[in-house]
Amino acid sequence: MFTALFVIVGLLAGCTGGNNNSNTNSSPSPTSSSTNSATETPDGAFPDYSKGFPEKVTLEIPVYERAFEGWNVTDNYYTRWVQKEFGDKYNITVKYVPITRANEVQDFEQLLASRKAPDIIFHYDMPQALNYYGEDVLQELNHDEIANYAPTYWANMSETIKQYGTVEDNQVFFFAARPNADNFTSLIRKDWVEKVGMKVEDLTSLEKYNEMLAKWKEAGLGTAGAGLLMNNYIYSYPFREWPVDPKYRALYSDLGVADLTTADSERFLRNLNYQYNNGLIDKEFYLRDDANKVKAEFVAGKTGTFGVYLTNNLDVISATLANNPEAEFAVVPPTAGVPEGYKPQARAYWPFGFIMGINYESSDEERAAVWMYLEWLSQPENLFFFQNGVEGQNYTLDAEGIAVRNPDFKGESVLSQNNNKDYWGLVTEIAQYDDPEKTRKANLRNWSPVGYEYLAEDLVKYYDQVAEYRTPDALFSVVLEKVNEYKADLNSLFQEQYVKLVLAKPEEFDALYEEAKKQYLQQGYQEILDEKQAAIDAGQFR
């Protein structure tokens, strides 16, 4: 996500596994028993696995591989803890399957095609989740079965599942909770801002931001950071008219397909062209195609902005200080990427985190094991341990019962750099306590790099300030076949065309943009728009 956001203003940051409708492992009715199970159950009941499966079951859970230094996503203190506390208890072998965060869809598609995909297929965004549904790689679900094996999880998420989990009258998706909070932000070299006679608070518009970048260049400090825009298209939001019409939003907002032809995109691209031609952004932004490449430029002191998920064990600050001991940091105001006369629009999250489905090849027992795992993970004591680690090592409890992290702990039970989020994110996006105020305090602690607590405070302050301008993308209730058909080709074409437009001489921009729009529409985007418009006219979105 940060790459897409990063490029907005230079600071923010084919094969399928379809089963051809031949699924033989669809959810059982309450009166059926598992095909391979020897467990006898009374009529009207699901098989009882409370004492464990009679035969060993292998549960395969996907987990993001983010290339955290020194972190093994499939074998660490916490994966072994899960096996000991959950797997061994129920005769389950828990296997974590790494999914590269930057190439998530490609990884899942390859695993599905080779019939090696995990039991859960997940994604954060509904268009891609609908793609998996359209590829026929997900099982139809039985809500009674979920409630039976995962009563706590079902109680927490049943309303969300009932509201959003059905497609074309088929119960397909289940979800993680998403409390209303977000820890993504953009950092800026505060010392650079002040060296050119400005303050971070002066960045009240895109024009002011570009003025600052020009002063950076004149002073020989560096440029704004930037990365190749791909796979996540939310760049045009700050360039849209406000308020945005819901039907316009439904037609042109799509995380998987860029809205290259809109006036919003034109404004975005003209600004990026201006920044590039005036030496205000990383000249080789198109080579920064993953997080570490963008990060490396910031750490080296070549760029002065970087989009990141803020956490208390964030390493980018210490790494930057190692190269630039005088460096100071601040959070970029949300207005810095917004042209004068526009509002700081952004994409609001849907009211759920991970969108999940069950792999069509998973057995009845494996599916039951998924529900049992979500139930185990939903227990407060297990979730708290996963999120905080070992008391007395990773943290201590304060008088309010909030975990206070030990930032210097490097022992065996050390958490991953995003506080193990990629594991417990199956049930919730953000750590929570029983009291909202405690949760807020805990979030601030979890997001506050030691010595830089003000960064988390500013993040929350800005998040609240622009809340009214965040709107969620439309949720279509039908599969958009043309999106599935043209998405990959249009992704590739967009990257080619937008890089060409950014690198173009200003006097060449208009002609190149007209040609780019024409080609984009001809190669599938017009068919996508037509399909979306038909669904909008039919009221098949919300």
Assign 133 to helix, strand or coil: helix
Query: What is the structure's pLDDT at 14?
Result: 35
Query: What is the structure's pLDDT at 484?
Result: 85
Assign 534 to helix, strand or coil: helix
Query: What is the structure's pLDDT at 312?
Result: 87
- Token look-up 């037509």 returns 530
Query: What is the structure's pLDDT at 4?
Result: 37
Query: What is the structure's pLDDT at 142?
Result: 98
Q: Report d(CA 319, CA 399) in Å as an integer.
A: 33
Query: What is the structure's pLDDT at 431?
Result: 86
- Token look-up 């996500």 returns 1
Q: Which residues of the chain have pLDDT under 70?
A: 1-44
HSE, side-chain direction, 13 A CA sphere, residue 108: 25
* Residue 250, amino acid: A
- Token look-up 């208390």 returns 312
Q: Report d(CA 521, CA 244) in Å as an integer.
A: 23
Query: What is 426-480 written as a DSSP string?
Result: TTBSS---SSHHHHHHHHHHHH--TT-HHHHHHHHHHHHHTGGGEEEPP-BSS--
* Contact (Cβ atoms closer than 8 angstroms) between residue 47 and residue 395: no
CB atoms within 10 A of CB 472: 14
Query: What is the structure's pLDDT at 42?
Result: 52
Assign 395 to helix, strand or coil: strand
The pLDDT tens digits for 453-475 are 999 999 999 999 999 999 999 98
Query: What is the structure's pLDDT at 39?
Result: 41
Query: What is the structure's pLDDT at 436?
Result: 86
Exposure string for 166-175, b = 16+ CB within 10 A, e = fewer: bbeeebbbbb
- Token look-up 């300030």 returns 465
Q: Report d(CA 188, CA 419) in Å as an integer.
A: 23
What is the separation of C-alpha 81 from the centre of its chain, rounded to a whole number of angstroms? 26
116 DSSP 8-state letter: -
The verdict on whether omega for the bond into residue 42 sits within 30 degrees of 0, i.e. cis, is no
Q: What is the dihedral of CA 406, 411, 412, 414, to 10 degrees?
A: 30
* Residue 186, amino acid: S
The pLDDT tens digits for 272-323 are 999 999 999 999 999 999 889 999 999 999 999 999 999 988 899 999 999 9
Dihedrals φ, ψ of 395, to 5°? -160, 165
Q: Report d(CA 456, CA 180) in Å as an integer.
A: 16
